[in-house]
């Protein structure tokens, strides 16, 4: 695949992965890149209902997308598939979807489900997907108390699996961060060895599409979508302490 493939995962569920995907997609498009998005496995949404990819397109604008599998209950994909009596998503299905998107894209973002060890199938995690695609990870994390442990565990799990981590993304940075958050901004890269390449302001998902797309380049460093062009942290002028 000639496109740059980046897998977006999180330190947990409901951490802001979908909004982060939309922000990185918007920033990359503003930089002139052709962007496509794959959701590895969607859960918690009935057939025909709008899901994560629809939210990405609502915020970032129309772009090519693929969703290899969908299961109705809001559970880990392996469990959701079993309860629905459906076959789980396969690695081949995800790889084929990404390959289709990569034909006409410079950057393909692959959104996982939950964290790095959540089972997509009995023997499949998003780390296996990243390995097979030779893709870097972006790890979306919370800025608050407890994030140092969660983020370092995630990064260590990725490295143990032989997966590169390109950067950390603060999934929801508030207007008035507390002491733990301001300390974590420095401690996250210090303890993980991974730069913070994006910080998404709290409530960004409620913005109108044009406002979201206009603001996204200020939230996302080039290191999120250009390999090898990371900074130590997001510039503090972009994070309101």
Dist. CA 183–CA 216, nearest whole Å: 24
- Structure letter (DSSP) for residue 237: G
H or E, element range at 8? strand 4-10
Residue 136 has φ and ψ, to the nearest 5°, of: -80, 160
CA 62 to chain centre: 18
Name the residues annotated as catalytic.
Answer: 39
């Amino acid at each position: 695949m000639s496109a740059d493939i980046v897998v977006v995962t999180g330190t947990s569920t409901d951490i802001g992965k979908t909004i982060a995907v939309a922000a990185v997609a918007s920033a990359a498009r503003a930089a002139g890149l052709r962007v496509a998005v794959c959701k590895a496995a969607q859960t918690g949404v009935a057939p025909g209902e709008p899901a994560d990819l629809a939210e990405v397109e609502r915020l970032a604008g129309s772009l090519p997308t693929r969703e290899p599998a969908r299961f109705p209950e809001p559970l880990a994909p392996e469990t959701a598939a079993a309860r629905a009596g459906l076959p789980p998503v396969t690695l081949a299905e995800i790889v084929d979807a990404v390959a289709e998107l990569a034909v006409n894209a410079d950057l393909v973002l692959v959104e996982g489900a939950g964290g790095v060890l959540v089972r997509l199938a009995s023997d499949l995690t998003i780390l296996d997907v990243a390995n097979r695609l030779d893709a870097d990870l972006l790890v979306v994390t919370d800025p608050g108390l407890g994030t140092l442990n969660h983020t370092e565990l995630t990064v260590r799990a990725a490295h143990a699996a032989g997966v590169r981590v390109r950067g950390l993304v603060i999934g929801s940075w508030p207007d008035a961060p507390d002491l733990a958050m301001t300390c974590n901004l420095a401690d996250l890269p210090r303890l993980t060895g991974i730069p913070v390449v994006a910080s998404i302001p709290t409530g960004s998902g409620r913005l109108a599409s044009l406002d979201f797309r206009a603001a996204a380049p200020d939230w996302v460093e080039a290191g999120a979508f250009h390999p090898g062009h990371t900074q130590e942290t997001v510039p503090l002028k972009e994070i309101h302490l």
